[in-house]
Structure 1
């Protein structure tokens, strides 16, 4: 019996990957580096610190993380109110809530950006458990974010299920001994997930895998 659903945020609940990429391209341009869509597969699923380290190594940047992350955060927050949910995601989220299933958010984003996403999607609640990269020592693919969420919910790994759009996040939940539903953006992305993850390809399939009635969407 599923007692809780642990949702990833970026790309899973919110269509925010393009905004993260926009802030990265702007930050690189600020330091004289022209970049575009080719950066997305290089940074997909990584933490802000990991992206910063990658850019320093790849482009020879000397900017420190504090300045880099502040610029990216400001750019993100300026645009966050216009964020939209991934098609079908909030319908499944609300159906699970109506069914009485506890839900939590487990993200690799900073607390500031995660809160902005929650506001944009309209799912802020005082009781909602949410884990940001600021709440753990190690972000995904470490199991720590998922382990912490389960601990806060007072549940065992066997009692929860994780929903992820990235292989990085899926590996984190699998390492935490949780069942994982992989909801990739396309068929090409589906092939990158660990074999332990169950791939779903639509909101309807996601709802069914969560034990929800698709008619409730």
Structure 2
């Protein structure tokens, strides 16, 4: 039986990638780094800040990476003021809550960003469990964030469905043993299927989602 829905945040609850791209561009522009679509998709989407800045600024020490990360996240919070939930998300939340299905968040974002985005979207109180990068020793693609969420929910992995938009997130969810949907806000169905997505959807209104939800409830 289905007992929980576990969501990534950026690119899954909300199409926030354009705002992240602009925040990275503002932060790294002075270093001569051009943040284009290819670089964003290959070196940024789904990665931790530690990984991103060590890759893009390998000549700088870790302390400088951390300082750049803080500036980038501050820029993101300044820019992310008019975000809206992905189509169908609120209806999905209502459907789940009416059936006693619990809702959790698993994100590589820091707590400040997660809190900011959830408040902007008006859904901060919809999550029973919130796992941010600050709470775990290893972020995605390691399965630890998902394993931590499952443990805090007190359920088995097979009793949850995960929603992810990035290769690292999908790898984490699948390694933790969750049936997982790829949300197509940034990557193609082929790209997410290649890294383990069981199904893919464009929005939370897609029939491909509701067919599985209904079957898991009926079971």
Q: Which moved more, 1:72-81 or 1:128-137?
A: 72-81
Q: Tell me the TM-score normalised to structure 2 length.
A: 0.86
Q: Quote the Cα distance in structure 1 between the aligned partners of 2:188 and 2:196.
A: 15
Q: Which moved more, 1:146-155 or 1:97-106?
A: 97-106
Q: Which residue of 1 aligns with 2:98?
A: 98
Q: Which moved more, 1:119-128 or 1:6-15?
A: 119-128
Unaligned runs of 5+ in 1: 213-217
- Report how many residues are paired: 209
The counterpart of 2:213, out of the listed 207, 210, 213, is: 210
Once the two structures are superposed, what CA deviation does each residue of 1:6-65 show, in whole Å capped at 9, x if it has no partner? 0111101111111111111111113333333332212111111111111113xx556712
Q: Quote the Cα distance in structure 1 between the aligned partners of 2:188 and 2:178.
A: 21
Q: 1:21·1:39 contact (CA, 8 Å) conserved in 2?
A: no
Once the two structures are superposed, what CA deviation does each residue of 1:44-96 show, in whole Å capped at 9, x if it has no partner? 11111111111113xx5567123201211211111222112222233323322
Matches within 5 A, 1:190-205: 190-193=189-192, 194=194, 196-202=196-202, 203-204=205-206, 205=208
Q: 1:31·1:61 contact (CA, 8 Å) conserved in 2?
A: no
Matches within 5 A, 1:1-217: 1-42=1-42, 43-57=44-58, 60=59, 64-125=64-125, 128-185=128-185, 189-193=188-192, 194=194, 196-202=196-202, 203-204=205-206, 205-211=208-214
Q: Alpha carbons of 1:35 and 1:197: their partners in 2 closer, same or farther (altered >3 Å)?
A: closer
Q: Quote the Cα distance in structure 1 between the aligned partners of 2:167 and 2:127.
A: 28
Q: 1:13·1:90 contact (CA, 8 Å) conserved in 2?
A: no
Once the two structures are superposed, what CA deviation does each residue of 1:137-183 show, in whole Å capped at 9, x if it has no partner? 11011000000001111111121111111221111011111111222
Q: 2:105·2:129 contact (CA, 8 Å) conserved in 1?
A: yes
Q: 2:170·2:195 contact (CA, 8 Å) conserved in 1?
A: no
Q: Alpha carbons of 1:102 and 1:67: their partners in 2 closer, same or farther (altered >3 Å)?
A: same
Q: 1:161·1:180 contact (CA, 8 Å) conserved in 2?
A: yes
Q: Alpha carbons of 1:201 and 1:30: their partners in 2 closer, same or farther (altered >3 Å)?
A: same
Q: 2:12·2:164 contact (CA, 8 Å) conserved in 1?
A: yes
Q: 2:23·2:79 contact (CA, 8 Å) conserved in 1?
A: no
Q: Tell me the TM-score normalised to structure 1 length.
A: 0.87
